[in-house]
Structure 1
Amino acid sequence: MDSAPLFIVGSPRSGTTFLCSVLNVHPLIQLTNECRIFALLKNTLEAGGTRPDLLGVAQREHFRHFCRRTLGPWVERFYREELGMTAPIWGDKHPSYADPTVLSGRAGSIERLPRSGSCLRLIRELLPQARFIHIHRDPRHVANSLLRKHWIGSIEDGIRVWEQYVNEIIGFFAEIPADRALNVSYRRVIEDPRTTAASIGTFLDVADASPISDFLVSQHRCPTPFSDPVTDIADLYVVPDEPADDDKLLALAGTAATHLGYAAA
Protein backbone atom coordinates (compact mmCIF):
# COMPACT_ATOMS: atom_id res chain seq x y z
CA MET A 1 0.00 0.00 0.00
CA ASP A 2 1.27 3.45 -0.91
CA SER A 3 1.56 6.28 1.60
CA ALA A 4 -2.01 7.28 2.47
CA PRO A 5 -2.57 10.36 4.67
CA LEU A 6 -5.78 10.23 6.72
CA PHE A 7 -7.45 12.92 8.81
CA ILE A 8 -10.36 12.50 11.23
CA VAL A 9 -12.52 15.57 11.68
CA GLY A 10 -15.82 16.48 13.27
CA SER A 11 -17.30 18.90 15.73
CA PRO A 12 -16.03 18.71 19.31
CA ARG A 13 -17.68 15.95 21.42
CA SER A 14 -18.61 13.91 18.34
CA GLY A 15 -16.33 10.92 18.91
CA THR A 16 -13.18 11.95 17.03
CA THR A 17 -10.86 10.86 19.86
CA PHE A 18 -12.68 7.55 20.17
CA LEU A 19 -12.53 6.85 16.43
CA CYS A 20 -8.82 7.73 16.36
CA SER A 21 -8.17 5.20 19.13
CA VAL A 22 -10.28 2.59 17.33
CA LEU A 23 -8.45 2.99 14.02
CA ASN A 24 -5.06 2.87 15.71
CA VAL A 25 -5.63 -0.76 16.70
CA HIS A 26 -5.20 -1.67 13.02
CA PRO A 27 -1.57 -2.48 12.12
CA LEU A 28 -1.77 -0.50 8.89
CA ILE A 29 -2.94 2.73 10.56
CA GLN A 30 -1.09 5.23 12.79
CA LEU A 31 -2.78 8.50 13.69
CA THR A 32 -1.66 11.17 16.13
CA ASN A 33 -4.14 12.61 18.62
CA GLU A 34 -4.14 16.33 17.86
CA CYS A 35 -0.65 16.91 16.58
CA ARG A 36 -2.22 20.07 15.12
CA ILE A 37 0.63 20.63 12.67
CA PHE A 38 -1.66 22.02 9.97
CA ALA A 39 -3.00 24.66 12.35
CA LEU A 40 0.60 25.76 12.86
CA LEU A 41 1.26 25.78 9.12
CA LYS A 42 -1.91 27.74 8.40
CA ASN A 43 -0.89 30.29 11.01
CA THR A 44 2.61 30.54 9.49
CA LEU A 45 1.36 30.96 5.93
CA GLU A 46 -1.66 33.17 6.51
CA ALA A 47 -0.81 35.13 9.64
CA GLY A 48 2.92 35.13 10.35
CA GLY A 49 3.75 35.24 6.66
CA THR A 50 1.94 38.57 6.24
CA ARG A 51 3.89 40.36 8.98
CA PRO A 52 6.61 42.58 7.48
CA ASP A 53 8.59 42.36 10.72
CA LEU A 54 8.87 38.59 10.21
CA LEU A 55 9.13 38.37 6.41
CA GLY A 56 10.09 40.95 3.84
CA VAL A 57 7.25 42.06 1.59
CA ALA A 58 9.27 41.39 -1.56
CA GLN A 59 9.81 37.75 -0.55
CA ARG A 60 6.30 37.06 0.70
CA GLU A 61 4.78 35.51 -2.42
CA HIS A 62 7.94 33.51 -3.11
CA PHE A 63 7.78 32.12 0.42
CA ARG A 64 4.12 31.14 0.09
CA HIS A 65 4.69 29.49 -3.28
CA PHE A 66 7.72 27.58 -2.01
CA CYS A 67 5.90 26.42 1.14
CA ARG A 68 2.82 25.21 -0.71
CA ARG A 69 5.06 23.30 -3.13
CA THR A 70 7.27 21.63 -0.53
CA LEU A 71 5.41 21.35 2.79
CA GLY A 72 3.45 18.20 1.96
CA PRO A 73 6.55 15.98 1.73
CA TRP A 74 8.02 17.87 4.71
CA VAL A 75 4.98 16.96 6.85
CA GLU A 76 5.31 13.30 5.93
CA ARG A 77 9.02 13.34 6.75
CA PHE A 78 8.16 14.79 10.16
CA TYR A 79 5.72 11.95 10.79
CA ARG A 80 8.08 9.29 9.50
CA GLU A 81 11.44 10.48 10.81
CA GLU A 82 10.59 12.33 14.02
CA LEU A 83 7.39 10.62 15.15
CA GLY A 84 8.51 7.20 13.98
CA MET A 85 5.35 6.39 12.03
CA THR A 86 5.87 3.40 9.74
CA ALA A 87 2.29 2.43 8.83
CA PRO A 88 1.18 3.23 5.27
CA ILE A 89 -1.94 5.03 6.58
CA TRP A 90 -0.82 7.92 8.74
CA GLY A 91 -2.18 11.27 9.85
CA ASP A 92 -3.98 13.14 12.58
CA LYS A 93 -7.22 13.58 14.43
CA HIS A 94 -8.11 17.14 15.34
CA PRO A 95 -11.67 18.56 15.45
CA SER A 96 -10.42 22.11 15.01
CA TYR A 97 -9.01 21.33 11.57
CA ALA A 98 -12.67 21.84 10.58
CA ASP A 99 -13.21 24.98 12.65
CA PRO A 100 -13.90 27.91 10.28
CA THR A 101 -12.46 30.19 12.99
CA VAL A 102 -9.35 28.12 13.72
CA LEU A 103 -7.14 31.24 13.59
CA SER A 104 -9.62 34.05 14.20
CA GLY A 105 -11.11 32.33 17.27
CA ARG A 106 -14.46 32.53 19.01
CA ALA A 107 -15.97 33.39 22.36
CA GLY A 108 -18.56 30.71 23.06
CA SER A 109 -20.56 30.32 19.88
CA ILE A 110 -19.76 33.82 18.59
CA GLU A 111 -16.97 33.76 16.04
CA ARG A 112 -14.62 36.64 15.48
CA LEU A 113 -14.98 38.11 12.02
CA PRO A 114 -13.66 37.87 9.44
CA ARG A 115 -13.48 34.10 9.74
CA SER A 116 -10.06 32.62 9.12
CA GLY A 117 -11.44 29.51 7.44
CA SER A 118 -10.56 25.97 8.43
CA CYS A 119 -7.43 23.91 7.76
CA LEU A 120 -9.20 21.46 5.47
CA ARG A 121 -8.34 23.07 2.14
CA LEU A 122 -4.73 23.61 3.19
CA ILE A 123 -4.41 19.90 4.04
CA ARG A 124 -5.90 19.02 0.67
CA GLU A 125 -3.58 21.42 -1.14
CA LEU A 126 -0.41 20.14 0.54
CA LEU A 127 -1.44 16.48 0.53
CA PRO A 128 -3.70 15.96 -2.53
CA GLN A 129 -3.89 12.21 -1.83
CA ALA A 130 -5.27 12.73 1.69
CA ARG A 131 -8.50 11.07 2.81
CA PHE A 132 -10.90 12.49 5.38
CA ILE A 133 -13.31 10.77 7.75
CA HIS A 134 -16.02 12.93 9.30
CA ILE A 135 -17.55 11.36 12.39
CA HIS A 136 -20.80 13.10 13.21
CA ARG A 137 -23.18 12.93 16.14
CA ASP A 138 -26.67 14.23 16.85
CA PRO A 139 -26.26 17.99 17.42
CA ARG A 140 -28.46 17.83 20.53
CA HIS A 141 -26.19 15.24 22.13
CA VAL A 142 -23.11 17.24 21.14
CA ALA A 143 -24.56 20.43 22.60
CA ASN A 144 -25.43 18.70 25.87
CA SER A 145 -21.93 17.25 26.11
CA LEU A 146 -20.33 20.65 25.42
CA LEU A 147 -22.50 22.17 28.12
CA ARG A 148 -21.51 19.50 30.66
CA LYS A 149 -17.85 20.28 29.91
CA HIS A 150 -18.57 24.00 30.50
CA TRP A 151 -17.10 24.82 27.09
CA ILE A 152 -20.14 26.87 26.06
CA GLY A 153 -22.68 28.95 27.93
CA SER A 154 -25.94 27.42 26.72
CA ILE A 155 -27.23 24.47 24.77
CA GLU A 156 -28.14 26.84 21.94
CA ASP A 157 -24.49 27.92 21.79
CA GLY A 158 -23.52 24.27 21.48
CA ILE A 159 -25.88 23.76 18.57
CA ARG A 160 -24.41 26.78 16.78
CA VAL A 161 -20.85 25.50 17.27
CA TRP A 162 -21.86 22.10 15.86
CA GLU A 163 -23.51 23.77 12.87
CA GLN A 164 -20.44 25.86 12.08
CA TYR A 165 -18.06 22.90 12.14
CA VAL A 166 -20.35 20.56 10.24
CA ASN A 167 -21.26 23.07 7.53
CA GLU A 168 -17.55 23.65 6.96
CA ILE A 169 -17.00 19.90 6.51
CA ILE A 170 -20.04 19.45 4.26
CA GLY A 171 -18.88 22.27 2.01
CA PHE A 172 -15.36 20.89 1.82
CA PHE A 173 -16.53 17.34 1.09
CA ALA A 174 -18.58 18.69 -1.81
CA GLU A 175 -15.36 20.01 -3.38
CA ILE A 176 -13.25 16.84 -3.26
CA PRO A 177 -13.61 13.45 -4.98
CA ALA A 178 -16.13 11.15 -3.34
CA ASP A 179 -13.51 8.46 -2.74
CA ARG A 180 -11.55 10.87 -0.53
CA ALA A 181 -14.35 11.61 1.96
CA LEU A 182 -16.37 9.40 4.28
CA ASN A 183 -19.15 10.37 6.68
CA VAL A 184 -19.50 8.06 9.68
CA SER A 185 -22.33 8.22 12.19
CA TYR A 186 -21.25 7.96 15.81
CA ARG A 187 -24.42 6.01 16.56
CA ARG A 188 -23.58 3.48 13.84
CA VAL A 189 -20.03 3.10 15.16
CA ILE A 190 -21.41 2.12 18.57
CA GLU A 191 -24.50 0.16 17.54
CA ASP A 192 -23.34 -1.52 14.30
CA PRO A 193 -19.58 -1.92 14.66
CA ARG A 194 -19.05 -4.65 12.07
CA THR A 195 -20.85 -2.83 9.25
CA THR A 196 -19.11 0.44 10.15
CA ALA A 197 -15.69 -1.23 10.27
CA ALA A 198 -16.32 -2.81 6.88
CA SER A 199 -17.22 0.55 5.33
CA ILE A 200 -14.10 2.16 6.78
CA GLY A 201 -11.98 -0.73 5.52
CA THR A 202 -13.41 -0.33 2.02
CA PHE A 203 -12.84 3.42 2.12
CA LEU A 204 -9.20 2.98 3.20
CA ASP A 205 -8.53 0.05 0.85
CA VAL A 206 -7.79 -2.18 3.83
CA ALA A 207 -8.56 -5.80 2.96
CA ASP A 208 -9.02 -6.97 6.56
CA ALA A 209 -10.96 -4.60 8.82
CA SER A 210 -11.47 -7.22 11.54
CA PRO A 211 -9.03 -5.58 14.01
CA ILE A 212 -11.30 -2.53 13.98
CA SER A 213 -14.58 -4.42 14.31
CA ASP A 214 -13.19 -6.84 16.92
CA PHE A 215 -11.99 -3.93 19.06
CA LEU A 216 -15.34 -2.15 18.82
CA VAL A 217 -17.22 -5.30 19.81
CA SER A 218 -14.83 -5.89 22.73
CA GLN A 219 -15.51 -2.41 24.09
CA HIS A 220 -19.09 -3.34 24.89
CA ARG A 221 -17.80 -6.09 27.18
CA CYS A 222 -14.88 -4.22 28.74
CA PRO A 223 -14.70 -0.49 27.88
CA THR A 224 -11.27 1.08 27.71
CA PRO A 225 -10.77 4.22 29.80
CA PHE A 226 -9.62 7.11 27.64
CA SER A 227 -7.68 10.20 28.61
CA ASP A 228 -9.11 13.70 28.56
CA PRO A 229 -11.24 14.91 26.83
CA VAL A 230 -12.89 11.46 26.64
CA THR A 231 -13.23 10.60 30.32
CA ASP A 232 -16.88 9.60 30.60
CA ILE A 233 -17.30 5.98 29.48
CA ALA A 234 -21.09 6.30 29.63
CA ASP A 235 -20.89 9.23 27.26
CA LEU A 236 -19.09 6.95 24.78
CA TYR A 237 -21.12 3.77 24.89
CA VAL A 238 -24.60 4.84 25.92
CA VAL A 239 -26.27 6.51 22.95
CA PRO A 240 -29.46 8.19 24.17
CA ASP A 241 -32.70 7.99 22.25
CA GLU A 242 -33.62 10.96 20.13
CA PRO A 243 -35.38 13.60 22.25
CA ALA A 244 -38.99 14.12 21.18
CA ASP A 245 -39.51 17.63 22.44
CA ASP A 246 -36.60 19.68 21.13
CA ASP A 247 -37.20 19.99 17.40
CA LYS A 248 -36.42 23.68 17.78
CA LEU A 249 -32.81 22.73 18.54
CA LEU A 250 -32.62 20.72 15.32
CA ALA A 251 -34.10 23.69 13.50
CA LEU A 252 -31.30 25.82 14.94
CA ALA A 253 -28.79 23.30 13.54
CA GLY A 254 -30.16 24.12 10.09
CA THR A 255 -29.57 22.30 6.83
CA ALA A 256 -26.48 20.54 8.20
CA ALA A 257 -28.70 18.44 10.47
CA THR A 258 -30.99 17.57 7.57
CA HIS A 259 -28.03 16.70 5.35
CA LEU A 260 -26.73 14.17 7.89
CA GLY A 261 -30.15 12.66 8.58
CA TYR A 262 -30.95 14.22 11.95
CA ALA A 263 -34.04 16.08 10.80
CA ALA A 264 -36.77 15.64 8.24
CA ALA A 265 -36.29 17.56 5.02
Structure 2
Amino acid sequence: MTTGTAAERPIFVVGCPRSGTTLLQLMLHSHPRIAIPPETRFMLDIYERRLEFGDLADPANRCRLAEAITGPKATRFHELGLDAGEVNKLIADAPPTLGSALGTVLQAYAGRFGKPRWGDKRPAYVMHMDALRRLFPTAQFVHLVRDGRDCVASLKSMPWYHEDSHHAAATWSRAIDLGRKYARTMPAGSYHELRYEDLITRPEQELTALCGFLGEEFHPAMLRPDKAAGIAVPGRKTWHTGTHEAVNAARAGTWRDRLDPWEISLCETVLAGGLRHHGYELTGAPRPDAALLLRYRRTAAERRGSLAKRILRDQLVRRREPGSVSYQCTA
Protein backbone atom coordinates (compact mmCIF):
# COMPACT_ATOMS: atom_id res chain seq x y z
CA MET A 1 0.00 0.00 0.00
CA THR A 2 1.32 3.43 -0.91
CA THR A 3 1.82 5.67 2.11
CA GLY A 4 1.89 9.41 2.62
CA THR A 5 -0.58 12.11 3.55
CA ALA A 6 -2.68 13.68 0.81
CA ALA A 7 -0.57 16.85 0.73
CA GLU A 8 2.55 14.76 0.07
CA ARG A 9 1.04 12.98 -2.94
CA PRO A 10 1.52 14.66 -6.33
CA ILE A 11 -1.40 14.53 -8.79
CA PHE A 12 -0.79 13.78 -12.47
CA VAL A 13 -3.54 14.25 -15.04
CA VAL A 14 -3.03 12.06 -18.12
CA GLY A 15 -4.92 10.98 -21.22
CA CYS A 16 -4.96 10.93 -24.98
CA PRO A 17 -4.43 14.42 -26.44
CA ARG A 18 -7.74 16.29 -26.89
CA SER A 19 -9.49 14.17 -24.29
CA GLY A 20 -10.39 17.09 -22.02
CA THR A 21 -7.36 17.08 -19.74
CA THR A 22 -7.17 20.89 -19.75
CA LEU A 23 -10.75 21.10 -18.50
CA LEU A 24 -9.91 18.65 -15.72
CA GLN A 25 -6.73 20.56 -14.92
CA LEU A 26 -8.79 23.71 -14.41
CA MET A 27 -11.35 21.90 -12.28
CA LEU A 28 -8.59 20.63 -10.02
CA HIS A 29 -6.82 23.99 -9.97
CA SER A 30 -10.11 25.57 -8.86
CA HIS A 31 -9.95 23.49 -5.67
CA PRO A 32 -8.76 25.66 -2.75
CA ARG A 33 -6.04 23.12 -1.84
CA ILE A 34 -4.79 22.00 -5.28
CA ALA A 35 -2.67 23.73 -7.94
CA ILE A 36 -2.16 22.22 -11.40
CA PRO A 37 -0.09 24.42 -13.75
CA PRO A 38 -0.30 24.93 -17.51
CA GLU A 39 1.54 22.29 -19.52
CA THR A 40 5.30 22.53 -19.18
CA ARG A 41 8.00 20.73 -21.13
CA PHE A 42 10.73 20.08 -18.58
CA MET A 43 9.59 16.97 -16.70
CA LEU A 44 10.16 14.29 -19.33
CA ASP A 45 13.05 16.08 -21.02
CA ILE A 46 15.03 16.41 -17.79
CA TYR A 47 14.30 12.80 -16.82
CA GLU A 48 15.59 11.50 -20.15
CA ARG A 49 18.70 13.72 -19.88
CA ARG A 50 19.33 12.91 -16.21
CA LEU A 51 22.83 11.50 -16.69
CA GLU A 52 23.97 14.88 -18.05
CA PHE A 53 23.67 16.41 -14.59
CA GLY A 54 25.78 13.86 -12.76
CA ASP A 55 25.59 13.21 -9.04
CA LEU A 56 23.17 15.70 -7.54
CA ALA A 57 24.92 15.43 -4.21
CA ASP A 58 27.28 17.96 -5.80
CA PRO A 59 25.74 21.45 -5.35
CA ALA A 60 27.23 22.59 -8.66
CA ASN A 61 25.33 19.85 -10.47
CA ARG A 62 22.08 20.89 -8.80
CA CYS A 63 22.67 24.44 -9.98
CA ARG A 64 23.21 23.24 -13.56
CA LEU A 65 20.03 21.19 -13.32
CA ALA A 66 18.08 24.19 -12.02
CA GLU A 67 19.24 26.37 -14.90
CA ALA A 68 18.27 23.65 -17.40
CA ILE A 69 14.72 23.79 -16.02
CA THR A 70 14.21 27.51 -15.57
CA GLY A 71 16.39 28.94 -18.34
CA PRO A 72 15.41 27.65 -21.80
CA LYS A 73 12.18 29.00 -23.24
CA ALA A 74 11.34 25.51 -24.53
CA THR A 75 10.72 24.27 -20.98
CA ARG A 76 7.83 26.79 -20.66
CA PHE A 77 8.92 27.49 -17.11
CA HIS A 78 8.23 31.16 -17.84
CA GLU A 79 4.50 30.41 -18.08
CA LEU A 80 4.39 29.45 -14.39
CA GLY A 81 4.72 33.04 -13.21
CA LEU A 82 7.65 32.20 -10.93
CA ASP A 83 10.96 33.98 -10.40
CA ALA A 84 13.71 31.85 -11.97
CA GLY A 85 16.36 32.99 -9.53
CA GLU A 86 14.25 32.10 -6.51
CA VAL A 87 13.36 28.68 -7.94
CA ASN A 88 17.01 28.00 -8.79
CA LYS A 89 17.89 28.60 -5.16
CA LEU A 90 15.08 26.34 -3.98
CA ILE A 91 16.35 23.55 -6.23
CA ALA A 92 19.92 24.06 -5.05
CA ASP A 93 18.73 23.73 -1.44
CA ALA A 94 16.40 20.77 -2.13
CA PRO A 95 17.30 17.14 -1.41
CA PRO A 96 19.81 15.84 -3.99
CA THR A 97 17.48 13.80 -6.19
CA LEU A 98 15.97 14.48 -9.60
CA GLY A 99 12.41 14.03 -8.34
CA SER A 100 13.05 16.54 -5.55
CA ALA A 101 14.30 19.14 -8.02
CA LEU A 102 11.33 18.69 -10.34
CA GLY A 103 8.87 18.55 -7.47
CA THR A 104 10.32 21.74 -6.01
CA VAL A 105 9.24 23.66 -9.12
CA LEU A 106 5.66 22.41 -8.93
CA GLN A 107 5.57 22.93 -5.18
CA ALA A 108 6.67 26.54 -5.74
CA TYR A 109 3.84 26.97 -8.24
CA ALA A 110 1.35 25.74 -5.66
CA GLY A 111 2.91 28.10 -3.13
CA ARG A 112 2.20 30.99 -5.50
CA PHE A 113 -1.52 30.36 -4.79
CA GLY A 114 -1.07 29.44 -1.13
CA LYS A 115 -2.03 25.82 -1.77
CA PRO A 116 -0.48 22.72 -0.16
CA ARG A 117 -1.25 20.23 -2.90
CA TRP A 118 0.54 20.21 -6.26
CA GLY A 119 0.59 18.22 -9.46
CA ASP A 120 1.01 18.42 -13.21
CA LYS A 121 -0.92 17.83 -16.41
CA ARG A 122 0.26 16.71 -19.80
CA PRO A 123 -1.48 14.14 -22.03
CA ALA A 124 1.89 12.62 -23.01
CA TYR A 125 2.38 11.53 -19.41
CA VAL A 126 0.09 8.59 -20.13
CA MET A 127 3.05 7.11 -22.02
CA HIS A 128 5.45 7.74 -19.15
CA MET A 129 3.63 6.79 -15.98
CA ASP A 130 6.37 4.29 -15.14
CA ALA A 131 8.99 7.06 -15.16
CA LEU A 132 6.75 9.40 -13.16
CA ARG A 133 6.26 6.70 -10.53
CA ARG A 134 10.04 6.41 -10.22
CA LEU A 135 10.32 10.15 -9.70
CA PHE A 136 7.26 10.37 -7.41
CA PRO A 137 6.52 6.97 -5.81
CA THR A 138 3.44 8.23 -3.93
CA ALA A 139 1.91 9.98 -6.94
CA GLN A 140 -1.76 9.66 -7.84
CA PHE A 141 -2.70 9.42 -11.52
CA VAL A 142 -6.00 10.62 -12.95
CA HIS A 143 -6.66 9.23 -16.43
CA LEU A 144 -9.37 11.04 -18.39
CA VAL A 145 -10.87 8.95 -21.20
CA ARG A 146 -12.86 10.41 -24.09
CA ASP A 147 -14.59 8.74 -27.03
CA GLY A 148 -11.76 7.85 -29.41
CA ARG A 149 -13.73 9.15 -32.37
CA ASP A 150 -13.99 12.59 -30.76
CA CYS A 151 -10.27 12.56 -29.99
CA VAL A 152 -9.41 11.74 -33.60
CA ALA A 153 -11.78 14.43 -34.90
CA SER A 154 -10.39 17.03 -32.51
CA LEU A 155 -6.74 16.19 -33.20
CA LYS A 156 -7.34 16.66 -36.92
CA SER A 157 -8.35 20.27 -36.32
CA MET A 158 -5.40 21.28 -34.14
CA PRO A 159 -2.85 23.69 -35.67
CA TRP A 160 -0.02 21.82 -33.95
CA TYR A 161 -1.04 18.33 -35.07
CA HIS A 162 0.57 17.31 -38.34
CA GLU A 163 -0.18 13.57 -38.44
CA ASP A 164 -3.08 11.73 -40.11
CA SER A 165 -6.19 9.99 -38.76
CA HIS A 166 -4.40 6.63 -38.61
CA HIS A 167 -1.82 8.11 -36.27
CA ALA A 168 -4.51 9.81 -34.16
CA ALA A 169 -6.42 6.54 -33.79
CA ALA A 170 -3.24 4.70 -32.81
CA THR A 171 -2.52 7.40 -30.22
CA TRP A 172 -5.90 6.84 -28.57
CA SER A 173 -5.48 3.08 -28.67
CA ARG A 174 -2.07 3.23 -26.99
CA ALA A 175 -3.39 5.52 -24.24
CA ILE A 176 -6.28 3.14 -23.55
CA ASP A 177 -4.01 0.09 -23.50
CA LEU A 178 -1.60 1.72 -21.07
CA GLY A 179 -4.49 2.83 -18.88
CA ARG A 180 -5.68 -0.78 -18.61
CA LYS A 181 -2.15 -1.90 -17.77
CA TYR A 182 -1.64 0.59 -14.96
CA ALA A 183 -5.13 0.09 -13.60
CA ARG A 184 -4.08 -3.52 -12.97
CA THR A 185 -0.54 -2.97 -11.73
CA MET A 186 -0.49 0.25 -9.70
CA PRO A 187 -0.94 0.13 -5.92
CA ALA A 188 -4.43 0.71 -4.59
CA GLY A 189 -5.26 4.41 -4.40
CA SER A 190 -2.78 5.38 -7.12
CA TYR A 191 -4.86 5.27 -10.33
CA HIS A 192 -8.30 6.72 -11.04
CA GLU A 193 -10.11 6.71 -14.36
CA LEU A 194 -13.12 8.74 -15.47
CA ARG A 195 -14.86 9.53 -18.74
CA TYR A 196 -14.94 12.99 -20.24
CA GLU A 197 -18.59 12.55 -21.23
CA ASP A 198 -19.55 11.80 -17.63
CA LEU A 199 -17.49 14.71 -16.36
CA ILE A 200 -19.35 17.26 -18.50
CA THR A 201 -22.84 15.80 -17.98
CA ARG A 202 -22.66 15.13 -14.25
CA PRO A 203 -19.64 17.13 -13.06
CA GLU A 204 -20.49 17.30 -9.37
CA GLN A 205 -20.89 13.53 -9.09
CA GLU A 206 -17.68 12.78 -10.97
CA LEU A 207 -15.64 15.43 -9.15
CA THR A 208 -16.91 14.24 -5.78
CA ALA A 209 -15.71 10.74 -6.61
CA LEU A 210 -12.40 12.12 -7.83
CA CYS A 211 -11.91 14.11 -4.65
CA GLY A 212 -12.64 10.98 -2.65
CA PHE A 213 -9.85 9.21 -4.51
CA LEU A 214 -7.48 12.12 -3.86
CA GLY A 215 -8.34 12.28 -0.19
CA GLU A 216 -9.80 15.78 -0.51
CA GLU A 217 -13.21 17.32 0.10
CA PHE A 218 -15.22 18.33 -2.96
CA HIS A 219 -15.50 22.11 -3.35
CA PRO A 220 -18.19 23.84 -5.45
CA ALA A 221 -15.56 26.09 -7.07
CA MET A 222 -14.49 23.06 -9.09
CA LEU A 223 -17.73 23.36 -11.07
CA ARG A 224 -16.62 26.70 -12.52
CA PRO A 225 -13.28 25.94 -14.20
CA ASP A 226 -13.85 28.85 -16.58
CA LYS A 227 -13.00 31.22 -13.73
CA ALA A 228 -9.50 29.72 -13.52
CA ALA A 229 -8.89 29.65 -17.27
CA GLY A 230 -7.43 33.14 -17.35
CA ILE A 231 -4.81 32.08 -14.79
CA ALA A 232 -3.93 28.51 -15.77
CA VAL A 233 -4.33 28.52 -19.58
CA PRO A 234 -1.75 30.53 -21.58
CA GLY A 235 -3.30 32.99 -24.03
CA ARG A 236 -1.29 31.54 -26.91
CA LYS A 237 -3.40 28.36 -26.73
CA THR A 238 -6.23 29.66 -28.88
CA TRP A 239 -7.63 26.15 -29.30
CA HIS A 240 -8.62 26.23 -25.62
CA THR A 241 -11.16 29.04 -25.95
CA GLY A 242 -13.86 26.67 -24.75
CA THR A 243 -12.24 26.53 -21.32
CA HIS A 244 -13.38 30.13 -20.75
CA GLU A 245 -17.01 28.99 -20.95
CA ALA A 246 -19.17 27.19 -18.41
CA VAL A 247 -19.09 23.39 -18.51
CA ASN A 248 -21.61 22.00 -20.97
CA ALA A 249 -22.32 18.71 -22.72
CA ALA A 250 -22.29 20.13 -26.25
CA ARG A 251 -18.69 19.05 -26.81
CA ALA A 252 -19.48 15.34 -26.74
CA GLY A 253 -20.24 13.36 -29.88
CA THR A 254 -19.19 16.00 -32.40
CA TRP A 255 -17.26 13.34 -34.32
CA ARG A 256 -20.47 12.54 -36.20
CA ASP A 257 -20.14 15.81 -38.09
CA ARG A 258 -16.35 16.09 -38.11
CA LEU A 259 -15.21 12.66 -39.37
CA ASP A 260 -15.53 11.37 -42.91
CA PRO A 261 -17.37 8.03 -43.33
CA TRP A 262 -14.11 6.15 -43.94
CA GLU A 263 -12.66 7.57 -40.70
CA ILE A 264 -15.69 6.43 -38.72
CA SER A 265 -15.35 2.97 -40.25
CA LEU A 266 -11.64 2.90 -39.41
CA CYS A 267 -12.13 4.01 -35.81
CA GLU A 268 -15.00 1.63 -35.14
CA THR A 269 -12.99 -1.27 -36.53
CA VAL A 270 -9.55 -0.74 -35.00
CA LEU A 271 -10.74 0.88 -31.75
CA ALA A 272 -13.81 -1.29 -31.21
CA GLY A 273 -12.50 -3.10 -28.14
CA GLY A 274 -11.51 0.08 -26.32
CA LEU A 275 -14.67 1.91 -27.29
CA ARG A 276 -16.91 -0.90 -26.04
CA HIS A 277 -14.86 -1.34 -22.87
CA HIS A 278 -15.53 2.28 -21.94
CA GLY A 279 -19.21 2.20 -22.85
CA TYR A 280 -19.16 3.96 -26.22
CA GLU A 281 -21.75 2.68 -28.67
CA LEU A 282 -20.75 1.84 -32.24
CA THR A 283 -22.79 2.88 -35.24
CA GLY A 284 -22.29 -0.36 -37.12
CA ALA A 285 -20.25 1.35 -39.82
CA PRO A 286 -18.95 -1.04 -42.50
CA ARG A 287 -15.44 -2.40 -42.32
CA PRO A 288 -12.97 -0.09 -44.11
CA ASP A 289 -10.93 -1.06 -47.15
CA ALA A 290 -8.05 -3.44 -46.57
CA ALA A 291 -5.56 -0.76 -47.62
CA LEU A 292 -6.76 1.55 -44.85
CA LEU A 293 -6.47 -1.20 -42.26
CA LEU A 294 -2.98 -2.09 -43.43
CA ARG A 295 -1.90 1.53 -43.15
CA TYR A 296 -3.27 1.73 -39.62
CA ARG A 297 -1.54 -1.49 -38.58
CA ARG A 298 1.77 -0.21 -39.88
CA THR A 299 1.32 3.07 -38.02
CA ALA A 300 0.38 1.29 -34.79
CA ALA A 301 3.34 -1.08 -35.16
CA GLU A 302 5.71 1.86 -35.59
CA ARG A 303 4.36 3.44 -32.43
CA ARG A 304 4.74 0.20 -30.48
CA GLY A 305 8.29 -0.09 -31.75
CA SER A 306 9.12 3.45 -30.70
CA LEU A 307 7.73 2.80 -27.23
CA ALA A 308 9.72 -0.43 -26.89
CA LYS A 309 12.93 1.37 -27.88
CA ARG A 310 12.28 4.13 -25.37
CA ILE A 311 11.71 1.59 -22.59
CA LEU A 312 14.94 -0.21 -23.49
CA ARG A 313 16.92 3.04 -23.48
CA ASP A 314 15.46 3.93 -20.11
CA GLN A 315 16.45 0.57 -18.64
CA LEU A 316 20.01 1.06 -19.85
CA VAL A 317 20.20 4.57 -18.40
CA ARG A 318 18.91 3.34 -15.03
CA ARG A 319 22.01 1.17 -14.65
CA ARG A 320 24.20 4.26 -14.81
CA GLU A 321 22.28 6.51 -12.43
CA PRO A 322 24.56 7.81 -9.66
CA GLY A 323 21.81 7.62 -7.05
CA SER A 324 18.09 7.64 -6.34
CA VAL A 325 15.81 9.77 -8.50
CA SER A 326 12.84 9.68 -6.09
CA TYR A 327 11.23 12.81 -4.72
CA GLN A 328 11.86 13.58 -1.06
CA CYS A 329 9.25 15.78 0.56
CA THR A 330 10.55 19.22 1.47
CA ALA A 331 7.36 20.63 2.99
Q: TM-score, normalised by structure 2?
A: 0.58
Structure number with the higher strand fraction is 1
Residue from 134, 137, 146 that aligns with 1:137: 146
The answer for the alignment partner of 2:181 in structure 1 is: 171
Given the alignment of the two structures, is residue 89 of structure 1 paired with residue 117 of structure 2, yes or no?
yes
Counterparts of 1:141-220 in structure 2, within 5 Å, are: 141-149=150-158, 151-213=161-223, 215=224
Q: 1:169 to 1:157 in 2, by over 3 A?
A: same
Q: Distance in 2 between matches of 1:207 and 1:240?
A: 28
Question: Does the Cα contact within 8 Å between 1:163 and 1:254 map onto a contact in 2?
Answer: no
SS across alignment from 1:7: strand
| Of 14-23 and 248-257, the range deviating more from structure 2 | 248-257
**1:165-202 Cα deviation digits (max 9, x unpaired):** 23223322322023111111111111111101111111
TM-score normalised by L of structure 1: 0.71
CA distance in 2 between counterparts of 1:28 and 1:122 reads 26
Q: 1:132, 1:177 → 2: CA distance?
A: 11
The yes-or-no answer on 1:12 pairing with 2:17 is yes
Give the residue type in structure 2 aligned to 1:193.
P
SS of 1:182's partner is: strand
Match for residue 112 of structure 1? none
CA 1:177–1:143 in 2, change beyond 3 Å: closer, same or farther?
same
**Cα RMSD between the aligned structures?**
3.3
Q: Percent identity?
A: 23
Pick 1 or 2: higher relative contact order, CA cutoff 8 A, min separation 6.
2
Q: Is the 8 A contact 2:31 2:221 kept in 1?
A: yes
Q: CA deviation at 1:239?
A: 2.8
The alpha-carbon deviation at position 129 of structure 1 amounts to 0.8
Kindly indicate which of the two structures has a greater share of residues assigned to helix.
2
- Checking the alignment, whether the CA contact within 8 Å between 2:37 and 2:109 is kept in structure 1 is no
- Give a deviation string over 1:120-154, Cα, whole Å, max 9, x none: 11111121110011111101011011111251443
Indicate how the Cα distance of structure 1 residues 199 and 178 shifts in structure 2: closer, same or farther if over 3 A, else same. Answer: same
Unaligned runs of 5+ in 2: 1-5, 55-95, 283-331
Give the Cα separation in 1 of the matches to 2:129 and 2:116. 21
Shift of 1:262: 2.5
- Cα 1:229–1:92, aligned 2, differ >3 Å: closer, same or farther? farther
Structure 1: gaps (5+ residues): 56-68, 99-117
User: Match for 1:184: what amino acid?
Assistant: L
